């Protein structure tokens, strides 16, 4: 299965910023109109240029002006962006256009995340919608909306956000076996994986500009990340790729501690699949809301990473 690189995702707000600046010729004016900080506008557009590997604006003391590439890109996306924004505004004014009961399938690894608040906010804005939830290991075939947390985005799913992942072990295990000082020393320990995040493979560790690819062989594979964390808490080894949503509860209680805190491992991808059922425009609306809310959740995860997995 080919992996989807989250860096390739361009969210709706970035496209809105891009089209606004193209029209106003000013980061400051667009920031005011969109109620954003000017630095946010500048940073988003810089990332957009990096995403397409081309300069989209000329910048000088008088403002900004589009390059040929910028004009070309605007001609391709402007109509689509305007249609989505117009449709979202019109629909939000008439909540009766949104109706129905939808089953949302949430994996166990996301049961403590703030994903539920996203759906509650949608319900508050659209009284005709009602969500019911199921938290289970495998998604229900009848679910209208399925959330997924895995190393790669499954075919048919849309990327939403990144969720940091960690290596965790109990103080008892570390006292008995010793604390690994480098990724290579993990090879001398019993490693616990889980079906989505910890199958036997090479694991890439990064620290600053340094990268290490270590062959990982797990002694046991649990069905879920929660199961891997429970096994680690029982002094049975080091749990691999445990998402922030699971790790924060264990580390706050002191039952588990983060291993190799100076090293990062690839985050997991939070994605969503909207199955057939919701009306086409409702599907578009839900997709946009989940993407925007997901990026916000990803930002909150990064902000709490240090405290959650200390």
Q: Percent of the chain at pLDDT above 70?
A: 81
Global pTM reads 0.62
Mean pLDDT of 153-167: 86
Which pLDDT tens digit goes with each residue over 210-268?
A: 999 988 887 788 888 889 999 999 999 999 999 888 888 899 999 999 999 999 998 98
- Res 183: pLDDT: 93
Rounded (5°) CA angle 32-290-33: 10
- Give 131 or 186, the one with higher predicted confidence: 186
d(CA 19, CA 275): 31
- Res 5: pLDDT: 47
d(CA 294, CA 310): 24
- Res 295: pLDDT: 63
Confidence of residue 1 (pLDDT cuts 50, 70, 90): very low
**Neighbouring-strand partners of residue 133:** 104
| Res 161 pLDDT > 60 | yes
| Res 6 pLDDT > 50 | no
Rounded (5°) CA angle 53-54-55: 140
Mean pLDDT of 74-96: 71
| Res 307 pLDDT > 60 | no
Mean pLDDT of 34-42: 84
- Res 279: pLDDT: 60
In angstroms and rounded to an integer, the radius of gyration of the C-alpha atoms of the chain is 22
| Res 198 pLDDT > 90 | no
Confidence of residue 278 (pLDDT cuts 50, 70, 90): low
Q: Percent of the chain at pLDDT above 90?
A: 23
Domains of the chain: 6-93 (1.10.10.10), 98-162+269-308 (3.40.190.10), 165-266 (3.40.190.290)
- Res 305: pLDDT: 52
């Amino acid at each position: 299965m080919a992996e989807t690189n989250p860096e390739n995702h361009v969210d709706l707000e970035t496209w809105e910023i891009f089209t606004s600046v193209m029209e106003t010729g000013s980061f400051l004016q667009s920031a005011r109109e969109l109620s954003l900080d000017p630095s946010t506008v500048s940073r988003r557009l810089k990332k957009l240029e990096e995403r397409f590997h081309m300069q989209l604006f000329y910048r000088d003391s008088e403002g900004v002006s589009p390059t040929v590439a910028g004009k070309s890109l605007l001609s391709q996306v402007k109509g689509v962006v305007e249609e989505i924004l117009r449709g979202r505004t019109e629909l939000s004014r008439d909540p009766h256009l949104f109706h129905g009961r939808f089953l949302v399938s949430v994996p166990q690894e996301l049961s403590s995340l703030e994903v539920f608040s996203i759906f509650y906010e949608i319900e508050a804005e659209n009284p005709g919608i009602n969500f019911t939830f199921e938290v289970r290991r495998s998604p229900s075939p009848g679910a209208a909306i399925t959330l997924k947390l895995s190393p790669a985005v499954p075919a048919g799913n849309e990327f939403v956000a990144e969720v940091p992942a960690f290596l965790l072990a109990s103080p008892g295990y570390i006292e008995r076996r010793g604390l690994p000082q480098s990724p290579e020393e993990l090879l001398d320990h019993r490693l616990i994986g889980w079906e989505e995040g910890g199958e036997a493979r090479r694991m890439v560790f990064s620290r600053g500009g340094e990268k290490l690819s270590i062959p990982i062989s797990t002694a046991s594979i649990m069905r879920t990340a929660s199961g891997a964390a429970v096994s680690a808490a029982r002094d049975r080894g080091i749990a691999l790729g445990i998402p922030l949503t699971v790790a924060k509860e264990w580390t706050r209680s002191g039952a588990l501690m983060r291993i190799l805190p100076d090293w990062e491992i690839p985050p997991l991808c939070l994605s969503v699949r909207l199955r057939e059922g919701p009306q086409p425009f409702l599907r578009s609306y839900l997709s946009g809301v989940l993407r925007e809310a997901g990026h916000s959740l990803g930002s909150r995860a990064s902000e709490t990473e240090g405290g959650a997995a200390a």
